[in-house]
Amino acid sequence: MISGPYLLYLGEAADPISVKTARGIAQWRPDACIGQRRLPGCEIDLGLADLTYAEAAAAGAKIMVIGDANAGGVLRTSAHPEIIAALEAGLDVASGLHQRLKDVAAIQDTAQRLGRTLHDVRDAPEGLKVGTGKPRAGLRLLTVGTDCSVGKMYTSLALEQEMRARSIPADFKATGQTGVLISGNGIAIDAVVADFISGAVEQLAPARNVPGWDIIEGQGSLFHPSYAGVSLGLLHGAQPHALVLCHEAGRPHIRGLEGRPLPGFAECIDANLAAARLTNPTVRAIGVSVNTSRLDPRERRAFCENLSDTLGLPCQDPLIDGVGQIVDNLIACFEPS
């Protein structure tokens, strides 16, 4: 369990995508964010107070979160002395990078000397078991995608928020490092040993013996040749009753793989439903969450309406429209009237 309060470390970040972890935390846990720490050259501003480590500690921050990431997930060397300074000032440090904090000797030594905690949130829990696929109690919703980085975490959190606003119990279950830092727990599913993908999800969202829903954050896509194994194991382990498909309108090709087209919507929904039926034969698709930010603003509503007509499912941009229609459909499909 990681709970903050947080100081968000942005380093020298110049690229908005590189700070998506920090931005996600600032967006979904604003009360837990005490401030930001930026180095000269940083071009990102999350609108938080710029604090030194001593100021952050004095203001109540407990954990500094490494909020920028580069391709490959390696910790920038410019961050090493900053992390050490934060530890010296009394903060613990959390990171979701592939490269572990504890594997940098100077950081590990400092933390040990001072009795501080290093949270490498991509570390898998000990003692994971293989999945069983055995039916378990409770209702579960999983977000799936036409690709990576299309808004599955955002959509999952928006669904949790909307359902709670309607007094439907809902619990976000994080499967990625940003989600773990937002919700305080979870499992970075892309970092577990391959044999335990579905088992890890069964552990993350075990039998739910109370009303309401587990909202499980999806990862990757069945159509992404780098990550589809993760997506399928997650789909089987989640044993979902409801799927919400996430998509970025206008994306030219599969993320990172120029020339590889995205799947069609119906093809993508059908493939996810077919695979999901292995562990939950009653699974159904209940909506589509579309990031329309690449579209001309005048085209956005038409895009969602056309897609909704084609698929017979509510299609919404969660940033613009919220996810109310998707939750309406969830209720219509699953809640006794």
What is the contact surface with a copy of itself in residues (CB under 8 A)? 71-73, 98, 129-134, 189-195, 197-199, 222-223, 225-234, 236-237, 256-257, 260, 271, 274-275, 278-279
Q: Which residues of 139-166 are buried (b: 16+ CB within 10 A; e: fewer)?
A: bbbbbbbbbbbbbbbbbbbbbbbbbeee
Q: Whole-number minimum distance, CB 108 to a copy of itself, in Å?
A: 18
Contacts 24+ apart (CB under 8 A), 105-114: 106/80, 107/80, 107/83, 110/84, 111/87, 114/87, 114/88
Q: What is d(CA 114, CA 109) in angstroms, rounded to the nearest whole number? A: 9
Q: How far apart are CA 11 and CA 321, in angstroms?
A: 33
- Contact between 196 and 129 under an 8 Å Cβ cutoff? The reply is yes
- Cβ 312 to a copy of itself shortest distance, Å: 23
- Residue closer to a copy of itself, measured from CB, 211 or 256: 256
Residue type, 73: G
Supply the minimum distance, in Å, between the C-beta of residue 233 and a copy of itself.
3
Q: Shortest approach of a copy of itself to residue 133 CB, angstroms?
A: 3
Least separation, in Å, of the C-beta of 230 and a copy of itself?
5
Nearest CB to a copy of itself, comparing residues 159 and 235: 235
Q: Which is nearer to a copy of itself, 1 or 105 (CB)?
A: 105
φ and ψ at residue 18, rounded to 5 degrees:
-70, -20
User: For a copy of itself, which is the closer residue by CB, 62 or 236?
Assistant: 236
Q: Which is nearer to a copy of itself, 192 or 315 (CB)?
A: 192
CB 245 within 8 A of CB 265: yes
Question: Residue 120 has what DSSP assignment?
Answer: E
Structure-token pair, residue 224: 């992404």
Q: How far is the CB of 174 from a copy of itself (least distance, A)?
A: 15
Closest to a copy of itself by CB, 189 vs 205, is 189
Q: Are strands 213-216 and 63-66 parallel, antiparallel or unpaired?
A: unpaired
Least separation, in Å, of the C-beta of 229 and a copy of itself? 3
* 316 CA to centre of own chain: 19
Nearer to a copy of itself, 163 or 201 (CB): 201
Residue 130 or 319 having the CB closest to a copy of itself:
130
- Residues in the chain, overall count: 337
DSSP secondary structure string for all residues of 207-254: ---SSSEEEEPP-S-TT-TTTHHHHHHHHHHH--SEEEEEEETT--SS
Question: What is the nearest approach in angstroms of a copy of itself to the Cβ of residue 20?
Answer: 16
